Structure 1
Amino acid sequence: FAHEVHPSEIAYDYWTTVRTLEAIGHREAFGLNWDPSHMVWQDLDPVAFLLDFKDRIYHVDCKDTRKRMSNGRNGRLGSHLPWADPRRGWDFISTGHGDVPWEDAFRMLNHIGYTGPISVEWEDAGMDRLVGAPEALEFVRRLAFDAPDAAFDAAFASKE
């Protein structure tokens, strides 16, 4: 099972994830679906989340978010405005066009040894899906590079 960490769920941020895992005795069957889009609009660090919960990441959703809260009018809770309304404080946006630090995230996924499924969860009320979804998939494919087989500086230690 891979629980998606987002508001309305029992684990919706960093500390509720810690508390949820403690409450169930860190049961191995309970993993996490890492979806950084929900972390970004809460001002959580999605890359640090990967490192801290590395043994619990069972699935990766590549979905992006863009924040628009710097004007002093737009709030974090969305004000019950429709998606893509520029008065919202944040919005889901096509993967690669938002505020998720994707390259850092994929480097961290390599660092923690993640080899599980990676999906594109595409949501963007301001872009046609026939344009955005294939573009998002190509973006993710470019970033889903393998970790190196050896340390970079290992070549300098060679006696050949």
Structure 2
Amino acid sequence: MITLKGPSLHLAQFSADQPPFDSLPNIARWAAHMGFKALQIPAWDKRLFDVELAASSQAYCDDITAMLAEHGLVISELTTHLFGQLVAVHPAYDALCDSFAPAHLQGDAAARSAWAVHQLTCAAIASRRLGLSDMGTFSGALAWPYVFPFPQRPDGLVETAFAELARRWLPVLDTCAEQGINLCFEIHPAEDLHDGASFELFLEHVGHHPRCKMLFDPSHLILQQLDYLAFIDHYRDYIRMFHVKDAEFLPTGKQGLFGGYQPWLKRAARFRSLGDGQVDFKGIFSKLAEYDYSGWATLEWECCLKNQHDGAREGVAFINRHIIQVTDTVFDDFAGTPVAPAVIARMLGLEGNPVGELQR
């Protein structure tokens, strides 16, 4: 059995232009003081990390590793969500996603997507240089606008979308394979890979690529009213990254799952700081321990009420409290005793049929 690692901190919701969140050394000092053991670095945020330089310079990667080590930290993973989002953008989201790309590429969907694939390639190489094994991302979305359609979807729309999605992602998956990196798609509403069934459909279209894995975040599953504990049972062999994030679903007589026109504070489905929502983390950590999940437990702070400093401070204690230090003994071994085959046969009333003969 394996004890998972943690707590790590996803930096995407913390980086800012003001200290201590304005540079990786500053945020590392703050995170270490909070009690984190690792940082999950968003590869798109140049305030913290230069992904192209990391792909070309081992010295740059070694310097980052050494700086973090001075604070007792390591990198848990790189994340590439905004790059992944640009791999496949439905035209309805073009204007909103343009800001994820450099200004000279905005308005050119093909060039923007090609740039994103290059950035993902750099991130895979950088992950290898940093000694990592897993990288998180989004799938992007071609079919999502039709998830609950009227008029109904025409035959072939979903299949065509997933065939194209696979075509765009296969070169990235192959690059990850060359670099020894697992590409972990976060299962997330607004992405084409938003639940287990859509992940399986994508997996089929990429030929069950061995580097196609999953980032598990229960908050996105509880908001879909999906059984997130059974989800672990189904996909334990694919889960390589874990975002520890809480959420709650509080339907009313006026709104339910699709409460998206309301601000976050007023939605029936909303994110909360760890321990303030409805996610059964005792069940999740127990499942992950049972299935020998060997990766990191990474705090992702998103909350419509609590500030990020309290969310981080409380999150460290919450994750430490839930990590199960797995046992290396069986609790009832004290009562065990060796028993000969003949005695076993007698215990079962099989004296005339030796155990070995029955097995043959």
TM-score by length of 2: 0.42
1-structure distance, mates of 2:318, 2:337: 36
Change (3 A) 1:154 1:44: farther
Contact (CA 8 Å) 1:14, 1:44: kept in 2 or not?
A: no
Deviations 1:47-73 (A, max 9, x none): 11111111111100001111110x221
Match of 1:57 in 2: 239
Equivalenced residue count is: 156
Q: Deviations over 1:60-88 (max 9, x none)?
A: 0001111110x221221223111122xx1
Larger Rg: 2
Amino acid paired to 2:287 = M
Matches within 5 A, 1:11-90: 11-69=193-251, 71-85=252-266, 88-90=267-269
Once the two structures are overlaid, the 10-residue window that deviates more, 141-150 or 93-102, is 141-150
Decide which of 141, 154, 160 is 2:333's aligned counterpart: 154
Identical aligned residues as a percent: 31
Structure 2 CA distance for partners of 1:9 and 1:151, relative to 1, 3 Å: farther
Q: CA RMSD in A?
A: 1.5
Whichever residue aligns with residue 200 of structure 2, its letter is V
**Unmatched runs of 5 consecutive residues or more in structure 2:** 1-182, 339-360
For residue 333 of structure 2, give the secondary structure of its aligned residue in structure 1.
helix
> For the Cα contact (< 8 Å) 1:58–1:116, is it kept in 2?
yes
Q: Which runs of 5+ in 1 are unaligned?
A: none
Deviation of the 1:27 alpha carbon: 1.2
3-state SS of paired residue (2:215): strand
Deviation at 1:158, TM superposition (A): 5.1
The corresponding residue for 1:126 is 305
Relative to 1, partners in 2 of residues 1:158 and 1:137: Cα closer, same or farther, differing over 3 Å?
A: farther
Q: Quote the residue 2:271 is aligned against.
A: 92
Range with bigger deviation, 142-151 or 107-116: 142-151
Q: Distance in 2 between matches of 1:66 and 1:95?
A: 11
For residue 4 of structure 1, the aligned residue among 155, 162, 186 is 186
Determine which structure has the larger helix proportion and give its number: 2
- Please report the TM-score for the alignment, with normalisation by the length of structure 1: 0.90
Change beyond 3 A, Cα 1:27–1:72 = same
Matched, 1:139 2:318: yes
- Residue 112 (str. 1) matches residue 294 (str. 2): no
Report the Cα distance in structure 2 between the residues aligned to 1:152 and 1:45, rounded to whole angstroms.
30
Alpha-carbon distance in structure 1 between the residues aligned to 2:330 and 2:204: 35
2:238 and 2:333 map into 1 onto residues whose CA distance is 30
Please give the alpha-carbon distance, in whole angstroms, between the structure 2 residues aligned to 1:133 and 1:158.
49
